[in-house]
Amino acid sequence: MDGFAKSIGGGGPNVPAGSHPAGGSQAAAGGGATQRTQYPYVTGTSVIALKYKDGVIMACDTGASYGSTLRYKSVERIKAVGKHSIIGASGEYSDFQEILRYLDELTLSDHMWDDGNSLGPKEIHNYLTRVMYNRRNKFDPLWNSLVIGGVKKGPKGDEKYLGMVNMIGTHFEENHVATGFGNHLAIPILRAEWHEDMTFEEAVKLVEKCLLVLLYRDRSSINKFQIAKITTEGSTIYPPYSLKTYWGFTHFENPAQGAVGSW
Amino acid sequence: MTGSMDLPAKGGFSFDLCRRNNMLEKNGLKLPGFRKTGTTIVGLVFQDGVVLGADTRATEGPIVADKNCEKIHFMAPNIYCCGAGTAADTEAVTDMVSSQLQLHRYATGRESRVVTALTLLKSHLFRYQGHVSAALVLGGVDCTGPHLHTVYPHGSTDTLPFATMGSGSLAAMSVFESKYKEGLTREEGIQLVSDAICAGIFNDLGSGSNVDVCVITKGKTEYLRNHQLPNPRTYASSKGYSFTKGQTEVLSTKITPLKQKVEVTEGGDAMEE
């Protein structure tokens, strides 16, 4: 197998190895076992999600970058899993496709039991945590941060669930999550403005607020977003759309007006 | 007219000691760490002027070195500057430019302009090629109107309607990007700046404690030190830690007078030069 010298220690899923990832052919470092560490090549940027009254809403942009190039502009990074969940991923897109295949196998064999039971979001989250952590232990991680949301009937009625797993196996459950740059730009807004039992319209407005900030301030984000929601009725992934940006501040026009000839 | 400022030293940054420093490091000397301010600093332009804001935590690695430091520095009566990065660098560079501005005011007889402070700062920082680790938000109101600039350690500057710097800059910027609009009133401006600093305080580990705000308008500057205190000291008991006499039982008492070891002679001479 290829042995790349670079170890996993640097950056998360959204940090490509320089602007030319395909040229990363370094000789294997001297000493011992083959290390199957990786660079991420084609990466997706942030995913944000939050619980609202009827279930969970998740959103992300539809772009995938190849290093510093915006290579793919119509990529679906949110998919439905089974009847009760949706999953969103940032990071290496091919690893996300692999995870979707694992989940397909999982849901298929679950369906074949034909026992009237189906896997809920909590179970999917647990399964993915085990997969991610075990891969990390073998120094062969799936370079993703995953967001799993869903609603399933439980002993106390319909239970909404929203959780996150990242490439090293860190996992938790929260009322609102974000991956990548969303951690720094969207989480402060969500912490201040999220509350229990938001309506769908309120939730979409809050999500759009976060997506707009990410569009302005994350260089790998594009102005084409997809929102998905999951409720007891099932999952809906809406068609992509763009947000309106505002560039009309007077201070953006002629910033050097105070001192002609300055820089 | 004599120049009111020193001529810059010929040749820029002096690299003379670098070889000696490298040799010492190779021989095992551990260089002292820098005290970084790990900060959230912000500024915005509102309809009558400029509002600056800052948190008050100074960190030394993982430890909070100063719980309530002042990050909004005086440059001129109408110009203030928030500083992030190495605390010594921000203090020294703002003090230096502040005194240069004062001398300039005496020489010209006019109120200082923000672009003057800006040019002095950026020229100094560029000469030091980023080794002076000062990231600044400079704001003020002069005869040409309100101005807000950011200055980076390598010497580049931006002119912006709203700006954030420091480790908490992303959290504060998310608040600004979602809520800023032109023509804010004074109250709205102060509220938005406080919200942005609070976002930095609660979401960034390098920022914390209190919110300082400075409002600069034509002819008037208000420095609101500790405008908000969102992290008060809390006690397990509502009465706090006040211990009245008699709460601790005294079992026995023994008083030992200390022997006088020093002889005090009256009427000695005043301290000699």
Digit-coded pLDDT (tens) for A21-52:
433 334 344 444 565 657 899 999 999 999 99
Q: Is B99 on the interface with A (CB under 8 A)?
A: no
Tell me which chain B residues have a C-beta less than 8 angstroms from the C-beta of A252.
Answer: 161
Q: What percent of chain A has pLDDT over 70?
A: 84
- A45 has catalytic annotation: no
Q: What is the C-alpha to C-alpha distance for residues B110 and A13, in angstroms, rounded to an integer?
A: 54
Residue found by looking up tokens 């009566």 in the block? B77
If pLDDT is split at 50, 70 and 90, which confidence band does B64 have?
confident
Catalytic residue among B2, B37, B39, B157: B39
Phi, psi (rounded to 5 degrees) for B120: -60, -45
Helices (H), chain A: 93-113, 121-137, 182-185, 187-193, 200-217
Phi, psi (rounded to 5 degrees) for B18: -65, -40
C-alpha distances (whole Å) from B139 to each of A239, B29, B81, B116, B218 are 44, 41, 6, 12, 12
Section B136-153 average pLDDT: 93
pLDDT higher than threshold 60 for residue A106: yes
CA angle A175, A180, A185 (to 5 degrees): 70
Classified as helix, coil or strand, A46 is coil
Of A58, A8, A9, A19, which is closest to residue A220 (Cα–Cα)?
A19
Tell me which chain B residues have a C-beta less than 8 angstroms from the C-beta of A263.
Answer: 157
Contact A185 B147 (CB under 8 A): no
Residue B241, pLDDT score: 73
Which chain A residue lies closest to B159 (C-alpha atoms)? A255
Q: At what angle do helices B87-108 and B114-127 cross, to 10 degrees?
A: 130
Residue A1, pLDDT score: 39
CATH class of A48-240: alpha beta
Section B63-88 average pLDDT: 92
Q: What is the C-alpha to C-alpha distance for residues A225 and A240, in angstroms, rounded to an integer?
A: 5
Give residues with Cβ within 8 angstroms of A141, minimum separation 6.
A8, A37, A38, A132, A135, A167, A168
To the nearest whole number, what is the mean pLDDT of chain B? 87
| Per-residue pLDDT reduced to its tens digit, A47-94 | 999 999 999 999 999 999 999 999 999 999 999 999 999 999 999 999
8 A C-beta contact, residue B121 and residue A235: no
**Distance from the B178 Cα atom to the nearest Cα atom in chain A, whole angstroms:** 6
Contact A217 B177 (CB under 8 A): yes
All domains of chain B, ordered by start, with CATH?
36-228 (3.60.20.10)
pLDDT higher than threshold 80 for residue B114: yes
C-alpha distances (whole Å) from A58 to each of A89, A178, B266 are 11, 10, 84
8 A C-beta contact, residue B184 and residue B192: yes
More confident residue, A212 or B239: A212
Residue B242, pLDDT score: 75
Residue B38, pLDDT score: 80
Q: Is A186 on the interface with B (CB under 8 A)?
A: yes
8 A C-beta contact, residue A4 and residue A35: yes
| Per-residue pLDDT reduced to its tens digit, A169-192 | 999 999 999 999 999 999 999 999
Nearest Cβ partner of B178 from A189, A251, A259? A189
Beta carbon pairs, A and B, within 8 Å: 70
